[in-house]
Structure 1
Amino acid sequence: MNLYFRLFWLFIWRVRHCNSIDFLGTSRISYRALPLDCDINCHVTNSRYPALMDLARTYMLAEMGLLKRFIKLKWLPIVNAAEFTYIRDIKPLTKFEIESKLVGWDDKYFYIEQRFVSDNILHCIVHVRGVFVCKGKQVPIDTMVKEVNFEGPRPELPPEVVKWKAFLQLKKERNI
């Protein structure tokens, strides 16, 4: 992550004044596309999206009320895979939101969908697969779910995530 001022602002101000969402709720954080976020094509550069997504996922944990608890437990989030679909570019100085939502989990990973939206226009949709680690070992998904006191049924993964999972497994099998 290379957005230190935005990270500082996130921890000093935004986390302290954030909304509250449930474990499967949608988190929304707004940003403006600054000139340094943009490339020579006068739109947000592809490398900026993952950095902004890191901030948005941190904010999502804060809105869920889990950030302080996970820091205390020394759980570190690790992205295992991500797939991006760029739909429309984000021009300089455009105000946009990143919508982040936990869409489900399996026996090993959790899956988050993140959308970049401005004025009801979808710019980019991203699926992220990740885990939490503690002292170099993966925190079991069941442990994470128990820690957040989630007692509902496991949500069914969206069809595009199911197909993406199969694609990731195929890549792994073909490249062993």
Structure 2
Amino acid sequence: MNNSNTVSASKITLSELMLPSHSNFSGKIHGGYLLSLMDQIAFACASKYCGSYCVTASVDTVNFLNPVEIGELVTLKASVNYVGTSSMVVGIRVTSQNIQTGKVKHTNSSYFTMVAKNEKGKNVQVPKLILSNLDEVRRFYESVNRISQKKQSLQDEITLDYSSPEALENLQNYNIILNLNK
């Protein structure tokens, strides 16, 4: 394993023509199929970067911005944006292109956290990330911020007393009916 590697060394592009077999009941490409492609490219990107088998540890928010139509060419681009000790954050951008008109639309983006493993399933150290331009620095810091926000959110969940009078009173601000069996 190398002690360091560049973001460029991790870059992967995957393109696939969307077929009727990939569609849902409304005739659009099924979101689950796109997620499967995203997971594949995240695996390939992370494994290429570190030279080890990788598993998906988490997927950050995936917002489906535009539907993908049957017959469009979907292109996924992925690169490692951040590395920890054994984990990597892979950024993925998905676009679709109408091959008849040439119109390209951004369909979704997401961040997959991948963990490098050895043959026995134990975490292994990943190479240091060489940042070569300010765009890579920006993506690295954005990943640091998302990780920090996620940790803070988990801490907030742990410390919130859901049964406190204040927490129960606060539920009046939401579209619910509180009907606790006491």
State the TM-score, normalized to the length of structure 2. Answer: 0.63
2:121 aligned residue:
136
Please provide the CA RMSD for this pair. Answer: 2.9
Query: Once the two structures are superposed, what CA deviation does each residue of 1:109-135 show, in whole Å capped at 9, x if it has no partner?
Result: 211111111244211101111111121
Mapped partners of 1:58, 1:38: distance in 2: 24
User: Which residue among 24, 49, 68 is the counterpart of 2:34?
Assistant: 49
Give how far 1:80 is off: 1.2
1:165 aligned residue:
147
Q: Give 1:48's aligned amino acid.
A: Y
Give how far 1:30 is off: 0.6
1:156 aligned residue:
137
> Closer, same or farther in 2 for the Cα pair 1:35/1:160, shift >3 Å?
farther
User: Which residue among 21, 24, 48 is the counterpart of 1:36?
Assistant: 21
2:58 aligned residue:
81
Q: Is the 8 A contact 1:99 1:114 kept in 2?
A: yes
User: Is there any run of 5+ residues in structure 1 with no aligned partner, and where?
Assistant: 1-21
> Closer, same or farther in 2 for the Cα pair 1:161/1:61, shift >3 Å?
closer
Q: Which has the larger radius of gyration?
A: 2
User: Which residue among 112, 124, 128 is the counterpart of 2:90?
Assistant: 112
Mapped partners of 1:170, 1:49: distance in 2: 30
> Closer, same or farther in 2 for the Cα pair 1:24/1:126, shift >3 Å?
same
Q: Give 2:88's aligned amino acid.
A: F
Mapped partners of 2:158, 2:38: distance in 1: 28
User: Is there any run of 5+ residues in structure 2 with no aligned partner, and where?
Assistant: 98-103, 160-182
Mapped partners of 1:35, 1:45: distance in 2: 10
Give how far 1:57 is off: 3.3
User: Which residue among 110, 122, 138 is the counterpart of 2:106?
Assistant: 122
Q: Give 2:107's aligned amino acid.
A: H
Matched residues, number: 140
1:24 aligned residue:
7
Give how far 1:172 is off: 3.3
Mapped partners of 2:138, 2:122: distance in 1: 25
